[in-house]
Structure 1
């Protein structure tokens, strides 16, 4: 969709023609002080709660109350295999095969578990590449892995940086890094969508480049899962991890997803931390058998699943299945392009969109850089009923999520931003 127009009437027309607009009613929208719905553009930080989530959790509370431990096998959704109820839908969202996906633990915990298996440093090949402005927890995690293996965390970490005066990363600069240090690099670990700029990387291109130089390649897809077509299987990546509380709407601090490419599914030689939930399901409760690894991503589980958190994930994944990921991505591209159009129509030299303009190189997030702004700008937006996300030093991150944001939301947001920027 490219022929956008200004004016509220056009936004309302877009909403009337939106086949996904009814999904907004399936979510709780926070209220402003005037009692009206807020314009919630912070799904890249915490997704909104689906209305069905409470009933999904209540079902498990009911089974716990009425069945006690028997809920593991006799509950409506038996707890022993509950995580399997999430696998197909989650695999579909991230573009993977079911054997390649499991939901378990939390994000950085899973990143460490993946690095236990896939970061295999040697005296010569031990360095790790990350993007220069990676999400802090990723940087902290890889630095700690370097230290854990006895390497200097500054010398062993290579940053793929943007060029001076630019915000976005260039693939040719990564190519130069690999040409120079390729035989010293053990792991490339990049955020699939950069949290700050919203740049969506070409996962397949990065993977092929890394593998060509003998590197293992993994991705943190926290800002990509439920947002863009990750196509993880076809990317060829060795592993990926993501959280479920952003675009996947599973609640604060909820569980993480893990992808391990199927070529590693039956490799028992891969070093890993193990627990009884990665042991053969058929003999798990015999208790005294030697460890017998489950194939696929399930073979990285440690403990039995936290059911209440998984129930919240299941609620959201069922909404995703009804809407269809391809449909959501298509609407996301239209919403974000409309947002970009209206911002450009402001003709304000003090604002700059640092997210790529190419719709295939971004998800629904636009990062708006505002000259000479500080956190007060975000506070004014909040007072105006807009929930967005401020990132130092001068960027507002806004994510028009296709499941619950409307074109009218976007129109009203830009109108309120314009008023605030024009204040003296």
Structure 2
């Protein structure tokens, strides 16, 4: 946006006019040794803790203490169906129908479960396409799937690469790859928002293109859930996964989410790994029934849910449900646009933003290259009280999160960076 202004007073005016500014008080903001709040711009790695989380956890601890096993049916929030308490809010956040989502397992485990169903290699069609700078865990996972099925993990992997001297991926190049290799590709698996550049991909365009060539299409939305408008149902993707501990603020290493498109909901012949929690709820505890898979994403569950972990997720989801993604995304675009405006004042010969300039092609993260600098700049920035994120070889990732970051946060971060560069 070109109508932003310079100066601290303007940042304060933006905060005063922000309808969501009061939500910051609902989160624990880390402080330095003197008790001063740090500038926390690292929600793309770990979201901050909602102050309500403790009460949600305490409720389950109290019910466990007082009820023991009876808590499965008699807890204030009965444990047996507890994962269902997360479904509606999760579906709204990722743009899905309730039947299409479930919360379970960890992120890379869920990727493997999805590939067990949607990566079905044949002699002619066995290759997997990913972006060349995919998040390492995704790359390791798909390589291991190739090896598991007896294929060479280098020959069977096709990389969607940026052009020389560019960081962002072009759809024309993806189209060219599919024209040349589409009949060999069994699965397209893309990080929905690239962890390094912050590029937010067009899910519908990729899904439509992949399906034209007979490929299955999935997305890792770890950097997208709670950050951008994923619109998973309308994208047509076969599956998606995401974590809950980044923008969804559920706590370190917490559970993952899964999306399986509604068109697969009643396909009982679709190969999958199963367990008793994917069995028909009405007969699950008869214990000796032949397996009868649940419809929808719930049919990919294996085990009964970890209640304490889910309680922390529920605390955060209730905030999201109250605010709504539409308002969050609107503030996010303004907050990150203001951040971009301030960084550009430093000069493009000093700072380069590799994240797309189009707000619809990114989330809140900006990936910043300080030209002719190394990690010492990041270390100095940390010493001034800015919590951001370094990624080799030369990128500082900063994510002003609309739920708890302020325009003043962004202003002070850029001022501190300017001070370091002028030192």
How many angstroms apart in 1 are the aligned matches of 2:273 and 2:342? Answer: 50
* 1:143-162 superposed Cα distances (whole Å, 9 cap, x missing partner): 00000000000000000000
How many angstroms apart in 1 are the aligned matches of 2:181 and 2:219? Answer: 20
Instruction: Tell me if 1:360 matches 2:360.
Output: yes
How many angstroms apart in 2 are the aligned matches of 1:326 and 1:218? Answer: 24
State the Cα distance separating 1:350 from its structure 2 match.
Answer: 2.3
Alignment partner of 1:80: what SS? coil
1:80 is aligned to 80
1:392 is aligned to 392
* 1:126-154 superposed Cα distances (whole Å, 9 cap, x missing partner): 00000010000000000000000000000
* 1:71-105 superposed Cα distances (whole Å, 9 cap, x missing partner): 00000000000000000000000000000000000
Question: What are the within-5 Å matches in structure 2 for residues 98-117 of structure 1?
Answer: 98-117=98-117
1:213 is aligned to 213
Alignment partner of 2:403: what SS? coil
Given that residues 241 and 257 in structure 1 are in contact (C-alpha distance below 8 angstroms), is that contact kept between their aligned partners in structure 2? yes
Structure 2 unaligned segments of length 5 or more: list them. Answer: none
How many angstroms apart in 1 are the aligned matches of 2:378 and 2:296? Answer: 44
Given that residues 53 and 311 in structure 1 are in contact (C-alpha distance below 8 angstroms), is that contact kept between their aligned partners in structure 2? yes
State the Cα distance separating 1:373 from its structure 2 match.
Answer: 2.1
How many angstroms apart in 2 are the aligned matches of 1:168 and 1:362? Answer: 11
State the Cα distance separating 1:188 from its structure 2 match.
Answer: 0.1
How many angstroms apart in 2 are the aligned matches of 1:311 and 1:114? Answer: 25
Alignment partner of 1:206: what SS? helix
Alignment partner of 2:111: what SS? helix
Instruction: Tell me if 1:253 matches 2:253.
Output: yes
1:233 is aligned to 233
Alignment partner of 1:310: what SS? helix
How many angstroms apart in 2 are the aligned matches of 1:373 and 1:299? Answer: 50
State the Cα distance separating 1:372 from its structure 2 match.
Answer: 2.4
How many angstroms apart in 1 are the aligned matches of 2:118 and 2:169? Answer: 25
How many angstroms apart in 1 are the aligned matches of 2:34 and 2:352? Answer: 31
2:414 is aligned to 414
Alignment partner of 1:79: what SS? coil
After superposition, the Cα gap between the structure-2 partners of 1:361 and 1:348, relative to the gap in structure 1 and judged at 3 Å, is: closer
* 1:243-279 superposed Cα distances (whole Å, 9 cap, x missing partner): 0000000000000000000000000111000000000
Alignment partner of 2:280: what SS? coil
Alignment partner of 1:381: what SS? helix
How many angstroms apart in 2 are the aligned matches of 1:243 and 1:293? Answer: 25
How many angstroms apart in 1 are the aligned matches of 2:348 and 2:126? Answer: 47
* 1:291-329 superposed Cα distances (whole Å, 9 cap, x missing partner): 000000000000000000000000000011111110000
1:133 is aligned to 133
Question: What are the within-5 Å matches in structure 2 for residues 13-412 of structure 1?
Answer: 13-412=13-412
How many angstroms apart in 2 are the aligned matches of 1:145 and 1:159? Answer: 16
How many angstroms apart in 2 are the aligned matches of 1:36 and 1:277? Answer: 46
Alignment partner of 2:112: what SS? helix
How many angstroms apart in 1 are the aligned matches of 2:144 and 2:375? Answer: 31
* 1:345-392 superposed Cα distances (whole Å, 9 cap, x missing partner): 112512100000000000000000112222221111111010000000
How many angstroms apart in 1 are the aligned matches of 2:201 and 2:78? Answer: 39
Alignment partner of 1:234: what SS? helix
Given that residues 372 and 394 in structure 1 are in contact (C-alpha distance below 8 angstroms), is that contact kept between their aligned partners in structure 2? no
How many angstroms apart in 2 are the aligned matches of 1:393 and 1:407? Answer: 28
Instruction: Give TM-score scaled by structure 1 length.
Output: 0.99
CA RMSD of aligned residues (A): 0.7
How many angstroms apart in 1 are the aligned matches of 2:163 and 2:81? Answer: 48
State the Cα distance separating 1:2 from its structure 2 match.
Answer: 4.0
How many angstroms apart in 2 are the aligned matches of 1:421 and 1:58? Answer: 46
